[in-house]
A and B are shown apart, each in its own frame.
Chain A
């Protein structure tokens, strides 16, 4: 997948499945392609090659209207994702209006229910976005997302723009809703602590490629890919007595316009050897559920 001619391979050869009811965490630093992948899932970005199957059928085989009801998205910026000129109730029920689901009275009732579900009150429906805080706006965004009873929700950095205490509120909300409504999440974040907290499985991306895919607990306890190791070691715990076991990575992230040969991580990898610059390691399953793309494991 990527853009045409003079190509930047924003997302490069990703194979991934997301199971119903799980939270798949997608983590990586700037330019790794996680946002582009999210947009491809949403159908907001077209793929150059390869395919995305939803419930066994290619996205291209779905009628757009049906797809939109099944897959919804929560965006990062709560200040730009809500129409400032629309009242809250109208924002939440917009999807229902567009798809002509239920009577107007039923749509209003559903919007009110959703407001309560996300921890706000029905009377908030009569107000405008600017009257709410960032965390409240994100709750409104969640309510809007749920209006069409989607199966899959793509969360693109949904708490990154929020303060710590507000983050905790929204994360708790998302977790509870998942249990209540049997939702499936693709959760994108650069924040490893958040990812570890909410994900069942985690996919680590670097320069458009999948480096490691594993169940959350085992990845954080015992990362396999050197990039994952370095990433985890860079996380700062809120504990001044914690020893720094940081694995220093030299240099900056390479430009996606000019990716390294072979394994994209090899120029910065503390464990790189000859093979790494020559050929691209395939994603290989090590043990049940753990996949790594690294010559150390071939």
Chain B
């Protein structure tokens, strides 16, 4: 068993608010291997974005804080690093693509300047060298007329083009890990497919690893080898993508897959009853039990740990005790 590239251990991130302390990420452990695409799947408020931001030390403090755990990258704990040391990692060894390409690009700088920035900062290129490399980066991500687009401003580009630019920026320094937060959500269907193929292709070529954060089960199926399902701040299921879709174990995962309409199929969907609990008012025991068709007495009293239900498959559910 090789050492994980990124080893997240018992990570807990809390936010203080007038209504109390919100545990956005609750004791999450995840080992992320070289060369793999791991998807972190969940719906709004499950903690997946906060997880990503916690890894890179991007949680605003106040009101947020990582209160427990470690994030080991090549043996070093990122949470222990000073800001100037973290800066040498971000954009260089570990890159991130944020949701909404429109707001993630700086509207007052040209595209080439924005791609050049990490190159100059982390790899010591001179300005002319970095601007030239920026054009190659645009070519790499399939942008037509790269020299012309390099001199454009973000508002002059379409959503799909901007996302390609974000990817170009993220890959510019050949990072080990790319964290992509909903990289295709804001895009049209035909453009989405192009971007997914692009990301898969670049990841292969650079032998990198990809942490894909999304709620879109179709995108996950197309991209990920392993999947971690999150609910109420915790991982509730962790398995290979194939087994997850073929036979989901956690009742929440089952409910989720049963909620997705499939093209050409008009049979009624079976929605999960109820709604996600408020972060301030999580149920006792298993957070999912009020909505679970299989809940029994124990579920409302004791929170289940993550258990190995089958070789390589972990579930947080008393059904698999």
Contacts and interface: CB of A to CB of B under 8 A. Distances in A.
Interface stretch (A14-22, A109-117, A242-250): A242-250
Contacts, number: 129
A221 B262 CA distance: 13
Chain B interface residue number, banded: 35 or more
A197 B260 CA distance: 10
B222 A163 contact: no
Contacts of A244: 222
Interface string B5-45: 00000000000000000000000000000000000000110
A271 to B, nearest CB: 16
B189 A193 contact: no
A249 B258 CA distance: 31
B162 to A, nearest CB: 11
Given A240-B242, A251-B144, A231 B190 contact: yes
B271 A165 contact: yes
A164 interface: yes
A235 interface: yes
Interface in A205-240: 216-217, 220-221, 230-232, 234-240
A168 interface: yes
Interface string A84-112: 00000000000000000000000000000
A238 B221 contact: yes
Interface in B243-291: 245, 255-266, 268-272, 275-276
Given A234-B192, A234-B193, A237-B218, A220 B263 contact: yes
Interface of A: 29-30, 133-136, 163-169, 171-172, 175, 190, 192-194, 196-197, 216-217, 220-221, 230-232, 234-242, 244, 246, 248-249, 251-253
A240 B272 contact: no
A23 B8 CA distance: 48
A252 B161 CA distance: 8
Given A29-B188, A190-B189, A197-B265, A237 B43 contact: no
Given A192-B263, A237-B263, 20 more contacts: A29-B189, A134-B44, A163-B44, A164-B215, A164-B256, A164-B260, A165-B255, A165-B259, A165-B272, A167-B261, A168-B261, A168-B271, A190-B188, A196-B264, A236-B193, A236-B221, A237-B262, A238-B217, A238-B257, A244-B222
B194 interface: yes
A242 B161 contact: no
Contacts of A163: 43-44, 215, 276
Contacts of B159: 30
A144 B194 CA distance: 40
B160 interface: yes
Contact of B275 (A135, A230, A238): A135
B275 A136 contact: yes
B292 to A, nearest CB: 13
B53 interface: no
Nearest to B227: A240
A238 B263 contact: no
B265 to A, nearest CB: 7
A196 B218 contact: no
A134 B45 CA distance: 12
B191 interface: yes
A243 B316 CA distance: 31
Contact of A166 (B192, B216, B275): B275
A196 B221 contact: no
B221 A165 contact: no
Contact of B262 (A29, A193, A251): A193
A174 to B, nearest CB: 11
B190 A175 contact: no
Nearest to A232: B263
Contacts of B263: 192-193, 196, 220, 232, 235, 237
B5 to A, nearest CB: 22
B76 interface: no
A175 to B, nearest CB: 7
